[in-house]
Homo-oligomer: A and B are copies of this chain.
Amino acid sequence: MTDQQKTELLKRYKNGEIDEAEALKALKDAAFSDLGFAKIDLDRESRGGFPEVVYCEGKTAEQSLEIIRVLWERSEGNVLATRCSEETAAVVRAVLPEAEYLPLPRLLTLRRRPSEQRGHIAVITAGTSDLPVAEEAAVTAEIMGNRVTRIYDAGVAGIHRLLAHEEELTSANVLIVVAGMDGALPSVVGGLIKKPLIAVPTDVGYGASFHGLAALLAMLNSCSAGVTVVNINNGFGAAVAAGRVNELAAKEK
């Protein structure tokens, strides 16, 4: 339901064409589709700039398919499914062959129209093992209309690898810095570049990394002021946050 349709509806209610119960029901039906196990938000795009994203973990393949299908059929934008296993992807693609699947970041996408190409977000990783999380961030950012630069495997143990990319770093609007183990990279990047910086801890490491806790705590305690942090392995969340900053920059022009 577009904003215009809603205004229309409210007028009809004020004029007495429809009563309160009818008005409420119309608004409710338009707002989401209730599948019983899920309430699909059909109104999201107007509010958030992109369609509801499907988080597949913890859902059966059939539940994921059903939600994706309704979103694809009843919205007009693109669809993104995250944490999507190969099994679920196969079930979805049997019904919706236009879906694309990326196994490394475990993302499934359905694209109806090309994404915008706003600003420029840099995604940096400390190591190669951080790629699945970094790609979740990069692909999510792209489908939401952002231009993305990837700088991978540039950890602090060989800091010259990072310094070689200074130009790309300074030209970005936002930086997403992905690191496991000691989580030290955001502090170093944040000390060099004064841009909004979103740190993503990964569960790369072993022993006392405690599945990413070490990197998470290090990033929360970064000695470089201005670093903000998302959940362990949450490349998706970092991309959404970065996208909002990038969008804001574009809007202000």
Q: In whole angstroms, what is the CA distance A175 to B146 when docked?
A: 21
A155-B223 contact in complex given A217-B209, A217-B213, C-beta closer than 8 Å: yes
Task: Tell whether, in the assembled complex, residue A220 and residue B225 are in contact, meaning their CB atoms are under 8 Å apart.
Answer: no
Q: How far is the CB of A63 from chain B (nearest CB, A)?
A: 6
Quick one: closest B residue to A193, CB to CB? B47
The winner among A190, A217, A249 for most chain B CB atoms within 10 A is A217
CB contacts (< 8 Å) of A248 on chain B: these are 173-174, 195-196, 245, 248-249
Which chain A residues in 144-163 approach chain B with CB under 8 Å? 150, 152-161
Task: Tell whether, in the assembled complex, residue A182 and residue B222 are in contact, meaning their CB atoms are under 8 Å apart.
Answer: yes
Task: Tell whether, in the assembled complex, residue A158 and residue B249 are in contact, meaning their CB atoms are under 8 Å apart.
Answer: no
Quick one: closest B residue to A31, CB to CB? B160
Task: Tell whether, in the assembled complex, residue A128 and residue B224 are in contact, meaning their CB atoms are under 8 Å apart.
Answer: no
Contact with B along A62-87 (1 / 0, CB 8 A): 01000100000000000000010000
Interface: A96 (CB within 8 A): no
Count of chain copies: 8
- A214 touches which one: B31, B49, B127, B217 (CB < 8 A)? B217
Task: Tell whether, in the assembled complex, residue A223 and residue B184 are in contact, meaning their CB atoms are under 8 Å apart.
Answer: yes
Which chain A residues in 176-214 approach chain B with CB under 8 Å? 180-184, 187-188, 190-192, 194-198, 201, 203-214
Interface: A234 (CB within 8 A): yes
A205-B221 contact in complex given A161-B39, A252-B250, C-beta closer than 8 Å: yes
Q: How far is the CB of A198 from chain B (nearest CB, A)?
A: 6
| A and B contact pairs by CB, cutoff 8 A, 6 listed | A57-B129, A194-B244, A203-B207, A208-B217, A227-B241, A228-B237
